[in-house]
Amino acid sequence: MCGIVGYVGPNVDEKALTVVMEGLARLEYRGYDSAGVALVTEDGIEAEKRAGKLENLRSALDAHPLDGSRTAIGHTRWATHGGPTDGNAHPHRGGQDDKLALIHNGIIENFHSLKKGLLAAGAQFQSETDTEVAAKLVGAEFDKTGDLTTAMLNAVQQLEGAFTLLAIHADQPGVVVGARRNSPLVVGLGDGENFLGSDVAAFIGYTRQALELGQDQIVTITPDGYSVMGFDGRPAEGTHYEVTWDAAAAEKGGYATFMEKEINDQPHAVADTLLGRTDESGALVLDEVRISEEQLRAVDKITVVACGTAAYAGMVAKYAIE
């Protein structure tokens, strides 16, 4: 499951990037194969992304530092549509002059049809991802409306699937807009600054006040506050709570051990695995396998290679397969 972090604060300095990189480090436990960040600077959107571990991204940022900013987003990615490459890593760009940057967790199920429409309208794509389709779509909507929240609202009404989206735009430097459907997104409420994250581990070093968004909701954060609306455009509310555990416990989701967390995460993990993997009739669709049904049915032996608890899971799978 991908990790997502967003930040907006009062000052143009190094803090925005620091917060996002620290948040991504705390979300490494979720697993990933690439990472990236984007900031709104005086020169517009500046971004860096790299396949591999977070250290690869840090090295790239050390070699080519980004300018100071008060607004930043960051992402760690597990490859779904498109392999784990620099080009497929998030953020992706959209809108006139690529002024929008967007990160995404989940699956956009109707990205093929949306991409056809965007290509017909003149959009050019640089990656193999469904995320870039969302970026081009939100960017196109911003070009029509001039407002990032409205652009996000218009875009999510066209999306099918399960997703969390975060977007920033060069023309609105003190704003981050997020949206969620069947994928987690939490707001961190600070003093003159606000945060977004896949879970509270992303920002627990800065605030313990959090707001959990409901299903099909959009949130806009600025240094001074936040607003929430539903995908229908009506004002909405999230659920406010105080985080009572520390940073180490936050990575465990409040559980005493990672084992307990992983046991309780299993229903969500199975659901995440199946995102975008079924057609309208409920039949399983595995596009990445790239073999025919006849070839699959001809397989007479499956070898499960694993270690640790995954090996135990493989033993259970043996009985299910047989």
Q: Which domains does the chain carry? A: 3-251 (3.60.20.10), 258-321 (no CATH)
* Mean pLDDT, rounded, for 137-157: 98
Q: What confidence category does residue 253 fall into, taking pLDDT thresholds of 50, 70 and 90?
A: low
Angle at 109 between CA 121 and CA 45, to 5 degrees: 55
> Per-residue b/e over 77-91, b at no fewer than 16 CB within 10 Å?
bebbbbeebeebbbb
**pLDDT band at residue 283 using 50, 70 and 90 as cut-offs:** confident
pLDDT at 263: 85
Radius of gyration of the chain (CA): 20
Long-range contacts of 116-119 (CB under 8 A, 24+ apart): none
Average pLDDT over residues 168-175: 98
Average pLDDT over residues 137-145: 97
CA 175 to CA 234: how far, in whole Å?
20
Q: What is the mean pLDDT of residues 162-171?
A: 96
The answer to whether residue 32 scores a pLDDT higher than 70 is yes
Confidence band of 102 (pLDDT split at 50, 70, 90): very high
Closest by CA to 303, choosing from 284, 288, 289, 317, is 317
- DSSP letter at 97 equals G
pLDDT digits over 257-280, tens only? 878 877 887 887 777 666 666 777
CA angle 111, 115, 116 (to 5 degrees): 125
